[in-house]
Structure 1
Amino acid sequence: MTNKIFFLMVIAGVPLSVIGSLMHWSQTLMFIIYCLTIVSLAAYMGRATESLAVIAGPRIGGLLNATFGNAVELIISIFALKEGLIGIVLASLTGSVLGNLLLVAGLSFFIGGIKYKRQHFNVHDARHNSGLLMFAVIVAFVIPEVFSMEMTETKSFNLSVGISIILIILYLAALFFKLVTHRGVYQRGEESTEEHEEPEWSKGKSIGILALATVAVAYVSESLVHTFETVGETFGWSELFIGIIIVAIVGNAAEHASAVIMAFKDKMDVAVEIAVGSTLQIALFVAPLLVLISIFFPVNMSLIFTLPELIAMGSAVLLTVVIANDGETNWFEGMTLLAAYVIMGIGFYML
């Protein structure tokens, strides 16, 4: 039933997005159409990566899901950078970190915990990811903020470029560690049983749908960015709220749904890999990549977040590390993460 709804949304949403932009329909109406279209396209990307996850295994599958889920947000952010909307881009990065660690992980733990009393995932992966999370968010994002207080804008950007290069190198090294040198070293024995599940789509069909959906998302995302200013004025939303809540949720819709579905099926290794792996990819790869891409645009983007953004991200990381470090979870821990997300969402709305 859900798949039929998303199919109808894609069939109707893509043509309406094209027609509406050509005929200059109401910006508010088009904002809604663009968001719903991106969410439905993201659902297809999620199903395709789920199929690839069954074929490739939970670890690589989770990485693929996180990558293509973040591809949507990366595309939106590039077009926002092009328009000089630096505040929205930085806010959307913050929203992705909060959304993945608190909303996605929280919903996964909560929904899965309702069906199962206790759910387990690879504790070694959890501890490895905890160190990277602490580094990526608390060190790599806080340091530029502290040092930039004594720097000119040009020096702050140069510092951000240097940090971005280091972060990308570290992210590639982390992939090499998990997928090559230490692949299977910390794997749990029961993961092998997941290999017998049949994928929904074949490898070729999954890749083809991913490619087509990504192209469609790129087109709709460019149009979506042009509606931000009007929608913000209409609803009284700040750039911060649009980036942290709206763009982050729309941009990460694919992985949000996939992680919850995996948790409901008691595949917590994949669910946690999507939620935490996506956060690491945002902090160690997407954010620094956007800094480097901004070199080619009139307005450069430094890794300088506002104080509320930094405190919110740091709190989310610490809470997630404390909850996930034991390798098991339940519905109450999921509710705790969700409560933290709602509290932060209210705070950013009030700003």
Structure 2
Amino acid sequence: MFNKLFFIVVALGLPLSIIGSFMHWPSAIMFGVYCITIIGLAAYMGRATESLAIVAGPRIGGLLNATFGNAVELIISIFALKEGLIGVVLASLTGSVLGNLLLVAGLSFFVGGLKYKRQEFNVYDARHNSGLLMFAVIVAFVIPEVFAITMDEQKTLSLSIGISIILIVLYLATLLFKLITHRGVYKHNTDEVEDHETPEWSAKIAITVLLLATVAVAYVSENLVHTFETVAHQFGWSELFIGVIIVAIVGNAAEHASAIIMAYKNKMNIAVEIAVGSTLQIAMFVAPLLVLISLMFTTQMPLVFTLPELVSMVTAVLLTISITNDGDTNWFEGTVLLAAYIIMGIGFYLL
């Protein structure tokens, strides 16, 4: 049923996006069309990566879901940087961290917990990811804010560039550690048993769908960015709210759906890898990459967030670590994460 729904969304949304952009339809209408179309395209990206995940295994599958899920937001952010919307980009990065750790993980734990009393996942991966989350969000994001107080803009940007390079190198080292040098070293007796599930699409078809969907998302995203200012003025939304809530949810729709589906199937290793792995990829790769990409545009983006953004991200990290460090979860813990996300969402809306 959902596959047919998303097909209809893409079949109608993509032509309407093209026609509306050429006919200059009202921004408020096109904002909705663009968002729905991107979610439909993201669903196809999610199905394609799920097919590849069945072949590649939970770790690589989770990495693929996180990567192509974040590709949508990366594309949106690059066009926003081009337009000089630094606040929206930083807010969308904040929204991705909050969305993945609280909304995606919360929904996954809640939905899976309704079907299974207790769900377990690899505790060694959870503890390894906890340290990386502490470093990526609390150290790499808080330090620039602290030092920026006594620095001018140029020095703050130089500090951000240095931190960005270190983060990217460390992220690549993380992939080397997980996928090559220590692959399979830290096993857990709850690792999911292969059930020889048949992928929906072959590898060639899945890759083709991913490429076509990515191109379509790039086109729609560029048009979506142009509607931000008008929509914000009409609805009374701040750039912070658009970035933290709207862009983050739309940009991460693919991995949201994939993680929840995996949790419902009791494949918690993949679900957790998508939620936490995507957060690490945002903090250690996408955010620093955007800092470096911004150097090519008129307005550069330092890695300096507002105080509400920092406090929210740090709180989300600490809460997620405390819940996932034991290697198992249930529906109530998912509810706690969702409650935290709703509280923060209300706060950003009222700012």
Q: TM-score, normalised by structure 1?
A: 0.99
SS in 2 for 1:48: helix
Distance in 2 between residues matched to 1:4 and 1:196, nearest whole Å? 25
SS in 1 for 2:262: helix
Q: By how many angstroms is 1:192 displaced?
A: 6.1
Gaps of 5+ in 1: none
SS in 1 for 2:193: helix
SS in 2 for 1:304: coil
Q: By how many angstroms is 1:188 displaced?
A: 3.2
Q: By how many angstroms is 1:189 displaced?
A: 5.1
Aligned residue for 1:345?
345
Aligned residue for 2:246?
246
Distance in 2 between residues matched to 1:219 and 1:298, nearest whole Å? 22
Q: Which amino acid aligns with 1:129?
A: N
Q: By how many angstroms is 1:100 displaced?
A: 0.1
Q: Is the 8 A contact 2:123 2:325 kept in 1?
A: yes
SS in 1 for 2:194: helix
Q: Is the 8 A contact 1:46 1:254 kept in 2?
A: yes
Aligned residue for 1:314?
314
Aligned residue for 2:73?
73
Aligned residue for 1:327?
327
SS in 2 for 1:185: coil
Distance in 2 between residues matched to 1:167 and 1:137, nearest whole Å? 11
Q: Is the 8 A contact 1:31 1:231 kept in 2?
A: yes
Q: By how many angstroms is 1:197 displaced?
A: 1.1
Distance in 2 between residues matched to 1:20 and 1:27, nearest whole Å? 9
Residue 59 (1) aligns with residue 73 (2): no
Deviations 1:281-335 (A, max 9, x none): 0000000000000000000000000000000000000000000000000000000
Q: Is the 8 A contact 1:57 1:195 kept in 2?
A: no
Aligned residue for 2:85?
85
Q: Which runs of 4+ in 1 moved over 6 A?
A: none
Distance in 1 between residues matched to 2:192 and 2:65, nearest whole Å? 19
Q: Is the 8 A contact 1:51 1:199 kept in 2?
A: yes
Aligned residue for 1:29?
29
Q: Which amino acid aligns with 1:78?
A: I
Q: Is the 8 A contact 1:97 1:282 kept in 2?
A: yes
Residue 262 (1) aligns with residue 262 (2): yes
Q: By how many angstroms is 1:190 displaced?
A: 5.5
Q: Is the 8 A contact 2:112 2:264 kept in 1?
A: yes
Q: Which amino acid aligns with 1:283?
A: A
Distance in 1 between residues matched to 2:23 and 2:167, nearest whole Å? 43
Q: Which amino acid aligns with 1:314?
A: V
Matches within 5 A, 1:178-193: 178-188=178-188, 191=191, 193=193
Deviations 1:118-164 (A, max 9, x none): 00000000000000000000000000000011111011001000000
Aligned residue for 1:203?
203
Distance in 2 between residues matched to 1:129 and 1:189, nearest whole Å? 19
Aligned residue for 1:38?
38
Matches within 5 A, 1:58-137: 58-137=58-137
SS in 2 for 1:196: coil
SS in 1 for 2:254: helix
Distance in 1 between residues matched to 2:45 and 2:99, nearest whole Å? 18
Single out whichever of 194-203 and 240-249 deviates more from structure 2. 194-203
Q: Is the 8 A contact 2:122 2:191 kept in 1?
A: no
SS in 2 for 1:193: coil
Residue 162 (1) aligns with residue 171 (2): no
Identity of aligned residues (%): 76
SS in 1 for 2:185: coil
Q: By how many angstroms is 1:186 displaced?
A: 1.2
RMSD: 0.7
Distance in 2 between residues matched to 1:308 and 1:250, nearest whole Å? 21
Q: Is the 8 A contact 2:192 2:267 kept in 1?
A: no
Q: Is the 8 A contact 2:118 2:329 kept in 1?
A: yes
Question: How many residues get paired?
Answer: 351
SS in 2 for 1:141: helix
Q: Is the 8 A contact 1:66 1:278 kept in 2?
A: yes
Aligned residue for 2:279?
279
Distance in 2 between residues matched to 1:200 and 1:2, nearest whole Å? 14
Distance in 2 between residues matched to 1:189 and 1:238, nearest whole Å? 47
Is the alpha carbon distance of 1:115 and 1:276 closer, same or farther for their aligned partners in structure 2, counting shifts above 3 Å? Answer: same
Distance in 1 between residues matched to 2:326 and 2:191, nearest whole Å? 18
Gaps of 5+ in 2: none
Q: Which amino acid aligns with 1:327?
A: G
Distance in 2 between residues matched to 1:167 and 1:248, nearest whole Å? 21
Is the alpha carbon distance of 1:22 and 1:242 closer, same or farther for their aligned partners in structure 2, counting shifts above 3 Å? Answer: same
